[in-house]
Amino acid sequence: MSDEPSHLETNAQGNGEIRSGKLAGKTLWATIWIVALPVLLQQTMQACVGLVDSMLAGRLPDEIALQALDAISVGAYVTWFILIAMTGLGIGGQAIIARDMGAGNLLDARRALGQAVMLSVAWGAIVGMAMWFGVGPLAAFCKLDADVTSLLSEYVRIIAVSLPAAGFMLVGAMCLYGAGETMLPSLIAIGVNVVNILVSWALSGVDLTFGQRTFENPFSFDMHVGGIAVGTAVSYAFGALMTLWVLLHGVKDLRLEVGEMKPNAPVSGRLIRIGLPGFFDSFMMWAANIVVLLFIGMVAVNASTNGVAAGGLQGAHLIAIRWEAFSFLPGFALGTAAGALAGQYLGAGNAPMAQRAILVCTAIASVLMGLLGLVFMFGGEFLTRIISDDELHLKEVPPLLFIAGVVQVFFAITMVLRQALRGVGDTRWSFLITSASSYGIRLPAAWWLGVHLEMGLTGIWLGMCGELVIRCGLFAARFYHGGWKRIKV
């Protein structure tokens, strides 16, 4: 542990250089990259966990591959809910730790860490039980057939058992972000990804083909979708153990003290007060996207009624989502950096530098995600074939990726501003904007274009992506209003 205080101290000219701690003497631009790049690496590895699951499902025997991709498509939204459930606690921990360490209140930061990880395990168990018993109604809501429902239940219930470990890993990582430590969570994420690939491949029974070369699976487990789920669950357990080791050994001026994990109502209440709006913010967006799955089910049912084969539409949606998730990564990483830096600058009483950090992060993310948008627009078929060669997927997915590519810059601005405002504790406005835009614009537009006008998946994605442009304007208005600078956490 460092002997120096880890809070930010800017020089008399206010040029953004940090005089103490890990980032001492670095300019704002250097600081952003030091914080953001490890987060980008970590999130890339996390996205690869889902991508590997989809790739393995797409290479299962032909008689179940299409159903497996549909099941994992809906299962991906369940695992997304895991992130949402834990992000609320993580946001509270990150915001409090960033402010306390920025102000030099190291004891309060350690107390916040202890309560955050304690609550993450308990909350993970509750969410796991909800997933276990809720998978059946979810399958019915999405209008899945019996075969897909069976595969979905197997996939989700195996992962549900690992949720206390997943919660500890995810919340612990966000608490480390608040302290400015992003490299170690990134290294843990690499390990999680490696474990997931090896165990999922071994248990699924899938042979991997890359170009002209095939890697035969030397094992004979042939657990198929169940094996893929076990690999994910085991990787979460590995990540939790590594996160525990890091927190117990400590980073900078932050270390997990076992005594601080005993229930502490004032500190837990503070975490919940800040994190709860963040949870509902993400939950409302997640729930809106679950309704989108209903719309896709309605499109599939209508197509089948008209004599058109529509099995696999959920899988086509998943393939597009899996690739679009990689465009999230720069926005999430730079939004995390913006929130962590702005929180510490506000803790040190330097609001102008907090605003400047957010603006610089937004500009960088816009460039990076804009470039990825071009890849989506012109490389859709190539990206689709990496996961599936199915004729329906090759027809449906490239237009979806083109639509996503067009709005990437707006998406970048939305993501960074949303992450930054949440990172400094302005979770209430983030919740209001996300909810109003999702339910007032996204869902009506997706239904009108995709279902009512019978434009199918393409219409649904036009509605979803068009809404992002409006949401971008709403977050920009809140940012320039400046009320987030006066939030007390």
Mean pLDDT by runs of 10 across the 489 residues of the chain is: 35 40 56 71 71 79 79 76 75 80 80 90 89 88 82 91 91 85 85 90 78 68 86 94 93 85 87 78 81 86 56 79 82 84 79 89 93 94 87 91 96 92 83 90 95 92 94 94 81
pLDDT at 1: 37
Quick one: CA dihedral 238, 240, 245, 251, positive or negative? Answer: positive
Structure tokens, 422: 């949440």
Q: Is 364 exposed, middle or buried (0-12, 13-18, 19+ CB in 10 A)?
A: buried
Contact between 357 and 380 under an 8 Å Cβ cutoff? The reply is no
Please write down the long-range contacts of 100-103, taking CB distance under 8 Å and 24 or more positions apart.
100/347, 101/6, 101/7, 101/178, 101/179, 101/180, 101/252, 101/253, 101/254, 101/344, 101/347, 102/7, 102/8, 102/343, 102/344, 102/345, 102/346, 102/347, 102/348, 103/7, 103/347, 103/348
Q: pTM score, two decimals?
A: 0.70
SS3 assignment, position 208: strand
| Distance (Å, whole) CA 292 – CA 127 | 22
pLDDT at 9: 36
pLDDT at 38: 67
